[in-house]
Amino acid sequence: MMVHAVVPKVVARAVYLRNHNPSAFMTVTVGLRLNHEHALDSFLRAVQDPASPSYRHFLTPSEFTHAYGPTRAQVEAVEQYLRSEGVEVTGVSRNRLLVRTQGAVQSYEHALGVVLNDYVYHGRTFYAPSHDPVVPASIAGDVQSFIGLSDAAIMRPMNIRAPVVASRHLTASATPSGYSPQQIATVYDWPSITNTANGAGVTIANATAESTNLSVSALDTFWNQYGLANHTVTVIAVDGTTRSTGGTIETTIDEERSGAMAPGATLLVYDADSATDQDFTDTYNKIVTDNTAEVLTTSWGEPEADASSATLSTDDGIFKQAAAQGISVFAAAGDNGSSDGTSNSDTADYPSSDPYVLAAGGTTLTLTSSGTRSSEIAWSSGGGAESAVFSEPSWQVGNGVPQNGFRNTSDLAMDADPNTGYSVYEGGSWSVYGGTSFVAPQLSGLWADGVSDNGGTRLGQANQAEYAVANSSNYANDFYDVTSGSNGAFSAGVGWDHPTGWGTPIATNLIANLVTPTGGGGVAVPTASNGSVTTSEGTAVSGTLSATGP
């Protein structure tokens, strides 16, 4: 039986070159389906509902796996088939969602009934199967994806260096240019960024890649420049030692700004060896199964139109587990307008298009000489579009939200225009950058502040909670409504819009209402059974950080 939607969409637009080398070595991650997804979806709605008795009674990783993960028997059946076809199984993730394999191209071609070809698209050469894989009916219902069977889709960091540094008034020394953490904190009414009680006891995990040259001393220089607290920063190499350096500036931005906005937080850098979908899937899964972080942020993305829908479905299962465990997830919404750099003017960037991820959009923010907002409009290159993969979640409603059946991005925004950009210290010098890669980590810092305000109890799925606040009587107190500007196909307007979501945060008010929403009473959430094991909702706990696989 065929495993559908494995071939990346970009193959249909690419030019065939040749058959891929049959003797080449490759690694492939086999993604398995969750069990009892209807029950899981019910639980995820209830655990975010203040009117439910299950509200914020999150699961541990082991509880999630017992209730919703593939069974050992399902995993063993997949392993047995692959080994019988000459494919080596090298490991299984702790939640049993991912089976890691390796072997020669010809072994996979024989096992999956495919032919791998080399293609070229827009000057980039990649390999991919010409059609979706076929596996025995006995395992077809359990297999969702074969991640790594193609290297067509590559994540990219969402940062842009400013072409010209505009004149602006700085509150720090004259050495750096660009908006300082204090300027951002002031204009968005942030909780104190010098009080280390904010974010204390909370861990922010950054899903990033290719950052072997990340310098903790550079991060310290940045924080010291602005009189901010230094942080404990731990780098975790996912799937072995990272050898690449192309993501160093992105990771530096993420850590400088998430640390600045959550002064008491601990920072974890999960560093993938490459920017392939396969490595990022492993990275997401390791963060979630480690369960050490209350907040997850990533500033890497790709157009949905380039990716394998099957891969995105496997990632969606991982993000569902994050939501079930109470982990708040943020992703940059893109830096190439509503087209996301494609020929289609309405293309959402992934992973921000996933319903369990808060999509961080961008604005152009201009300040007065006294540091107050002069104007704020939608950034012309900011992301925000309609998903072609994910349907509209039930909670995505409100003034301005189109009821079109699609997951719509963005959800929330902050300054991202490089022409009104941020100061960055990296490689021994100061520079100015912009991009929605600044928005996601800063919002992750705000949610970390909220977790500490909540006594360490996790806040859970960030975007669903945000929409609940936006649809309450607190909207005008918690959000600055950005009503002008455009990202191409979509314009900002009153209430929600694609470029900026619900607008930009009035942070202190917003986080207070996220921590203590209204509600009470309700109905019990159904439990799920996996074999003979029945799991009820438990209180989230931090797991032990491990250097083992994802």
**pLDDT value at position 518?**
57
Q: Which two tokens stand for residue 249?
A: 């500036």
**Pairing status of strand 124-129 against strand 116-121:** antiparallel
Q: 13: burial class by Cβ within 10 Å (0-12, 13-18, 19+)? A: middle
pLDDT of residue 545: 28
One-letter amino acid at 235 equals V
Q: Classify strands 300-303 and 156-157 as parallel, antiparallel or unpaired.
A: antiparallel
The dihedral sign for the CA sequence 77, 80, 83, 88: positive
148: left (phi over 0), alpha (psi -120 to 50) or beta: left
The CA distance from 338 to 345, in Å, is 6
Q: How far is CA 121 from CA 11, 127, 348, in A?
A: 8, 11, 20
**pLDDT per residue as tens digits for the range 181-190:** 999 999 999 9
- Segment 441-466 shows an average pLDDT of 98
HEC readout, 48-108: CCCCCCCCCCCCCHHHHHHHHCCCHHHHHHHHHHHHHCCCEEEEECCCCCEEEEEEEHHHH
Which of 543, 442, 537 minimizes the C-alpha distance to 59? 537
* Topology at the third CATH level for domain 156-515: Rossmann fold (3.40.50)
Helix (H) or strand (E) segment spanning residue 181: helix 181-187
The residue with tokens 């692959």 is: 82
Is the predicted pLDDT of residue 43 greater than 90, yes or no? yes
Rounded Cα distance, 308 and 144, in Å: 11
For residues 297 and 155, give the distance between their C-alpha atoms in angstroms, rounded to a whole number: 14
* C-alpha torsion 104→100→133→530, nearest 10: 160
Q: pLDDT digit string (tens) for 490-511?
A: 999 999 999 999 999 999 999 9
| Alpha-carbon gap, residue 10 to 16, rounded angstroms | 12
* Residue 370 buriedness (CB in 10 A; 0-12 / 13-18 / 19+): exposed
> 545 with 61: CB under 8 angstroms?
no
- For residue 521, is pLDDT > 80? no
Task: Map tokens 């914020």 to a residue.
Answer: 56
Q: C-alpha distances in angstroms, 515 versus 45, 198, 266, 446?
A: 17, 13, 20, 11
Positive/negative CA dihedral, 376, 451, 52, 66 = positive
Structural contact between residues 33 and 500, judged by C-beta atoms closer than 8 angstroms: no
352-363 tens-digit pLDDT: 999 999 999 999
| pLDDT for 542 beyond 50 | no
Q: What's the pLDDT at 242?
A: 64
**pLDDT higher than 50, residue 549:** no
Number of H helices, E strands in the chain: 14, 27
Residues in the chain: 550
Q: In whole angstroms, give the CA distance from residue 152 to residue 125.
A: 8
Which helix (H) or strand (E) element contains residue 144? strand 143-147
Q: Considering only the C-alpha atoms of the chain, give the largest distance between any 2 of them, rounded to a whole number of Å.
A: 70
Structural element, H or E, at residue 444: helix 439-453
Average pLDDT over residues 513-535: 51
pLDDT at site 223: 98
| CATH 3.40.50.200 domain residues, the chain | 156-515
DSSP secondary structure string, 244-301?
--TTHHHHHHHHHHHHHHSTT-EEEEEEESSSBHHHHHHHHHHHHHH---SEEEE-EE
Query: What residues have CB less than 8 Å from 371, skipping those under 6 apart?
Result: 169, 171, 183, 186, 187
Residue 245's pLDDT is what? 86
pLDDT of residue 244: 79
Residue-wise pLDDT for 231-245, tens only, equals 999 999 998 766 778
pLDDT-derived band at 112 (thresholds 50, 70, 90) equals: very high
Average pLDDT for 402-420: 97
Q: Take residue 374 and report the two structure tokens written for it.
A: 């002069």
Which has the higher per-residue pLDDT, 245 or 265?
Answer: 265
- Percentage of the chain exceeding pLDDT 70: 91
**Radius of gyration for the alpha carbons in the chain, expressed in angstroms and rounded:** 22
Nearest CA among 130, 128, 383 for reference residue 276: 128
Tell me: cis bond preceding 351? Omega within 30 of 0 counts.
yes
Contact 62, 541 (CB under 8 A): no
Query: What pLDDT is stored for residue 239 in this prediction?
Result: 83
Task: Confirm if 142 and 386 have CB atoms less than 8 A apart.
Answer: no
Q: What is the DSSP letter of 419?
A: G
pLDDT at residue number 420: 96
* Per-residue model confidence as pLDDT tens digits over 48-101: 999 999 999 999 999 999 999 999 999 999 999 999 999 999 999 999 999 999
